[in-house]
Amino acid sequence: MGEVQEKKVGIISCSGEDCVEGTISRVATRQALGKLRPNETVTICLPLFLAGGREEREFARDYPTITVDGCDKMCAKVATERYSGKPASSIVVTDVLKNLHCPKLSSRRKLNNETLAVAEKVAEKIAEEVDEVLRHWV
């Protein structure tokens, strides 16, 4: 993750392997990082964070974070709260899906166009939350 000195928001995705919503959380996080807010965000590798990664936990303690979870078990949010502190915002893919017109989701491995569109919506939501966090940064 390296040394971080500027204003940065950490995005922590669950990347759940057991359902397509986990893949959506991952793809959306990558899109927010790489395309939508590349200069304002970093990601934190959740497995490393969970395994005790010191840099990851310190970053999440010292900088604002946004968790992106596939389902309502909210593993990324729970882990962030347990090891570093309350995230500034948390997004759950299944909640985002409730506001969409029942898209036909694909397999967790290869995303179809409808599922990709959901990931893009989630990515936009992440970007909005990043802007909100930065707006209130003191």
**Interface residue list for other proteins (CB under 8 A):** 1, 13-20, 22, 26-27, 29-31, 34, 43, 45-48, 50-53, 73, 75-76, 78-79, 107-109
* Minimum separation from the CB atom of position 33 to other proteins (A): 9
Pair of tokens at residue 67: 């968790």
Full DSSP string of 15-66:
--SSSHHHHHHHHHHHHIIIIISTTTEEE--HHHHHTT-HHHHHHHHHS-EE
Residue nearer to other proteins on the CB measure, 72 or 137:
72
Residue nearer to other proteins on the CB measure, 42 or 134:
42
Q: CA-CA distance, 55 to 49, in Å (whole number)?
A: 8
Residue nearer to other proteins on the CB measure, 42 or 99:
42
* Minimum separation from the CB atom of position 34 to other proteins (A): 7
Q: CA-CA distance, 58 to 31, in Å (whole number)?
A: 24
* Minimum separation from the CB atom of position 135 to other proteins (A): 26
* Minimum separation from the CB atom of position 79 to other proteins (A): 6
Q: Which helix (H) or strand (E) holds 69?
A: strand 65-69
Residue nearer to other proteins on the CB measure, 11 or 96:
11
